[in-house]
Amino acid sequence: MKNFFLRPLSIVAILMLSISINAQITTPQPSPSGSFTQSVGLTEIKVEYSRPAAKGRKIFGGVVPFDAVWRLGANSPTKFTTTDSITVAGKGLAKGTYVLMAKPGASEWEIIFNKNPTASAFGFKEEDNVVKVKVPTQNLPFNVESFSMMIGDITGTGASLDIMWENTLVRVPFTNDVDSKVMAQIKQKLAGPTQNDYYAMSTYYFETGKDLKQALEFCDKALNPNETRFWMLRHKSLIQAKMGDKKGAIATAQKSLEAAKEAKNNDYIRMNEASIKEWSK
């Protein structure tokens, strides 16, 4: 009876051992995948790519030959997605997902956006290329071991796609038409704006260098006579200072300072004190 129960258990143990032995060995990828998403203006940019390492090799003009199309990484094609239309180095690119490739040169690269989701440097049709732009290379004062991409120089209306490997940097500038979209929203909101809407409109007018008088008017409509929102008061003081009304700016900053002290917000206490000192000179 004892052997009758042990026999099935032994078979199970052997099967488990066999499965364990035949299981696939997991090892680190030589070119691990990477991705990032970045908001720029009113659009979102996503890049998916692989990241090979230099490993002491000569990269550009060596592993990656000049004047030949490269997939900007290794393994799968590099994907570039934009949720809104953008302008890349002066050329329009509609929203969507593209395969991103490049043709490196010694002093200039050609950047290619291809609409075929399965396109690669080893097989793509020229007629599927949507945008091709040329951008200069820059020398880095340090070495980048792993192939890297990131979004840099971010502003409210644009940024750059930065490509780095070895000691080479390539920056691909792009912009997004933010102003017309925001102004359309403002026009719509003016039919029945809230205090927060007025504040948002005032902030946009101020930060983009539009009509300061209009920015101040919007800000005043966002405030009430017993205002304690120190960040709004701070914003109004900055508008007044930029318009040359230092006396008014100091008075408003003082209100913001008192409200910030009440809220125990050290950042706004510090900023208001510094501004009052500067404007009082």
DSSP H or E segment with residue 32: none
Question: Residue 222's domain spans which residues?
Answer: 179-279
Q: Is residue 26 part of a domain?
A: no
d(CA 72, CA 9): 53
> What is the per-residue pLDDT for 75?
83
Query: In terms of domains, do 84 and 200 share one?
Result: no
> Running DSSP on this structure, what letter comes out for residue 27?
-
Q: Which of 110, 85, 114 is nearest to 98 (CA)?
A: 114
Query: In terms of domains, do 39 and 156 share one?
Result: yes
Query: In terms of domains, do 103 and 185 share one?
Result: no
Query: In terms of domains, do 113 and 184 share one?
Result: no
pTM of the model: 0.79
Query: In terms of domains, do 153 and 186 share one?
Result: no
d(CA 203, CA 199): 6
Contact 142, 167 (CB under 8 A): yes
Query: In terms of domains, do 124 and 225 share one?
Result: no
Taking only the tens of pLDDT, the chain with its 281 residues reads: 555 444 555 665 555 655 555 667 887 777 788 999 999 999 999 999 999 999 999 999 999 999 999 999 988 899 999 999 999 999 999 999 999 999 999 999 999 999 988 777 777 888 899 999 999 999 999 999 999 999 999 998 999 999 999 999 999 999 999 999 999 999 999 999 999 999 999 999 999 999 999 999 999 999 988 888 999 999 999 999 999 999 999 999 999 999 999 999 999 999 999 999 999 99
Q: Is residue 22 part of a domain?
A: no
Query: In terms of domains, do 169 and 221 share one?
Result: no
Q: Is residue 233 part of a domain?
A: yes
Q: Is residue 11 part of a domain?
A: no
CATH number at 213 reads 1.25.40.10
Contact 227, 255 (CB under 8 A): yes
Q: Which SS3 state, helix, strand or coil, does residue 159 take? A: strand
Query: In terms of domains, do 198 and 235 share one?
Result: yes
Examine the fold and report which residue of 147, 175, 203 is the final residue of a domain before the chain moves on.
175
Examine the fold and report which residue of 135, 154, 175 is the final residue of a domain before the chain moves on.
175
Examine the fold and report which residue of 132, 152, 175 is the final residue of a domain before the chain moves on.
175
